[in-house]
Chains A and B, each alone.
Chain A
């Protein structure tokens, strides 16, 4: 399966913590970096391991986009989220209706088949416990 953006996310088994967003973890100070870094922005350490992060994330802000782009049919939702590991990211959120979606909403990462041979990802609202 071809990923929509191979630089941005890992599938199950591709890295520790996967599936999730493609990041690095500093072996010296433990900081996570996304986008993936070559030098740790916190301690300047250079031993960084690839890792998937953001299996869970918290919504900070979102917008409903009414003009299609980048292969996405409008309306669709883009969110700005904070991953549970710390880094923030702009991500697609499943669905066309943002009812109930608010600052602090708990989200989870999932992969999504696109057509017959591609795979993408999005966040969806975490199922109620």
Chain B
């Protein structure tokens, strides 16, 4: 992306709280988040020039396979504009943001709405788990007992071995994120955990325990992006999306590192300039992989990064000050948008007890699906107070 592109700013953010909302429809949750974002931006429904709507599983879970966004926006009076539906597994939300940023940078539109919503409580947990499993290549991953917890467990074991991490590091990161989540008003779990509680929770796929896993969730988040500089502006300094590489051809560099390198190059800065990060901790110990892959510590430095408490609020580089996916909950299509909205709160200085002092530059990492040896998609955004 060239520097000649028009700058893009976050003008407004809105949420529908994450959790279990049996009586609510996707339309209602998306609508609440969208109206919140419009009010925050100080604009009306007719000020939106284009909308990007993220959702992963409505086709399987509610039967609304097509035109999901159109069904959400019509009741609000947002119509007669381009409405683009995006599905990219757990990275659907950041993918929608990436597309919106492209549209605005390109100059054809001035103000874009990005909304992500998901309804995962449908009264049949097995159906929800089957829907989640469809975020891998079903021809390759079907019939072999694979579930995301097992794939994540193996990724975490790999980093434990490479970085000489013990189970205490897995517990530390879980306790750290839950302590932050207590103060996030949209989080599904606003409850602190002790290391002992994490250790006593049921083993799901060793070394991953129940309290390390993100929950099934309903919820929605929305952001308004614009090329008109708003007051209390937060600027998009980078938007990079990478789909899984063929490692045998493209080299062993992980997809996370590839996306981060592109984002740093686009923003013209490096990891040492990042003040805080929101990363994709669908299982909390995955965060340990990202410290290294996003360049927050050198290879071989994860154990020291944990011992230093660097990722805690007040540490050198707070990670998931929002509580992360582990506390916020994971309504899949909404997650990537919620991460961007929570990062915007930090950069505006509006995060209350979980405010990172002096936060000027934040990194947001959202991953989705699985292909062969990597997540199917990784998206990294860098946001700056402008």
The answer to the question of A66 belonging to the interface, with a C-beta cut-off of 8 Å to chain B, is yes
The answer to the question of B204 belonging to the interface, with a C-beta cut-off of 8 Å to chain A, is yes
Using CB atoms, name the residue of chain B closest to A3: B143
> Among the listed A41, A65, A80, which residue makes an inter-chain contact with B248, where contact means beta carbons less than 8 Å apart?
A41
Assess the A92–B144 pair: CB atoms within 8 A. Answer: yes
Q: How far is the CA of A61 from the CA of B205 in the complex (A)?
A: 13
Assess the B204–A69 pair: CB atoms within 8 A. Answer: no
Interface code A26-60, partner B: CB below 8 Å = 1, 0 otherwise?
Answer: 00000100010000011000000000000000001
Interface residues on chain A, size class: 20 to 34
Assess the B205–A66 pair: CB atoms within 8 A. Answer: yes
In angstroms, how far is the closest chain A Cβ from the Cβ of B43? 45
Q: How far is the CA of A129 from the CA of B133 in the complex (A)?
A: 39
Using CB atoms, name the residue of chain A closest to B152: A63
- Chain B residues in 8 Å Cβ range of A97: none
The answer to the question of B145 belonging to the interface, with a C-beta cut-off of 8 Å to chain A, is yes
Assess the B137–A35 pair: CB atoms within 8 A. Answer: yes
Known: A42-B249, A63-B206, A70-B133. A92 touches B145 (CB 8 A): yes
Assess the B149–A90 pair: CB atoms within 8 A. Answer: no
Known: A31-B248, A62-B154, A63-B205. A90 touches B147 (CB 8 A): no
**Cβ < 8 Å to A, chain B residues 141-171:** 141-147, 149-151, 153-154, 157-158, 161
Assess the B147–A67 pair: CB atoms within 8 A. Answer: yes
Using CB atoms, name the residue of chain B closest to A37: B246
Assess the A69–B145 pair: CB atoms within 8 A. Answer: yes
Known: A67-B149, A70-B147, A80-B154. A35 touches B140 (CB 8 A): yes
**Cβ < 8 Å to B, chain A residues 84-129:** 86-88, 90-92, 103, 120
Residues of B within 8 A of A (CB): 129, 133, 137, 139-147, 149-151, 153-154, 157-158, 161, 202-208, 246, 248-249, 372-373
Q: Which 5 A-B pairs have the closest CB atoms?
A: A5-B143, A72-B145, A7-B139, A4-B143, A63-B153
A sample of 16 more A-B contacts (CB under 8 A), given A35-B137, A69-B133, A70-B146, is A5-B142, A5-B144, A8-B143, A41-B248, A63-B157, A63-B207, A65-B147, A65-B149, A66-B202, A66-B205, A70-B147, A76-B145, A78-B205, A92-B144, A92-B145, A103-B161
Identify 16 residue pairs between A and B in the complex whose beta-carbon atoms are under 8 Å apart, listed by A's number. Answer: A5-B139, A35-B140, A41-B246, A42-B249, A61-B157, A63-B154, A63-B157, A63-B208, A64-B205, A66-B205, A69-B133, A69-B145, A72-B145, A78-B146, A80-B154, A87-B248
